[in-house]
Amino acid sequence: TFRDVAPFQQDKITPPRASSKEKSVFLRKKDGTDKEHKRAAASFHFSDGFEAHFSEDGPLKYVKPGMDSSQVKRLRRGEFPPDLILDLHGLNKEQAKLEIAALIVAAQKQHCHCVCIVHGIGSFVLKKAVPNWLVQHPAVEGFHQAPLEWGGKGAILVLIETNDEHF
Per-residue pLDDT of 143-165, as tens digits, reads 999 999 999 999 999 999 987 54
Average pLDDT over the chain, rounded to whole?
A: 81
58-82 pLDDT, tens digit per residue, is 788 999 998 888 988 888 888 889 9
In whole angstroms, what is the distance from residue 154 CA to residue 7 CA? 52
Task: Name the pTM for this structure.
Answer: 0.71
The SS3 assignment for 90 reads coil
Q: What is the pLDDT of residue 37?
A: 55
Q: What is the pLDDT of residue 108?
A: 92
Spans of the chain, pLDDT less than 50: 23-26, 28, 30-31, 165-167
Our measurement of the distance from residue 19's CA atom to the centroid of its chain's CA atoms, rounded to an integer in Å, reads 17
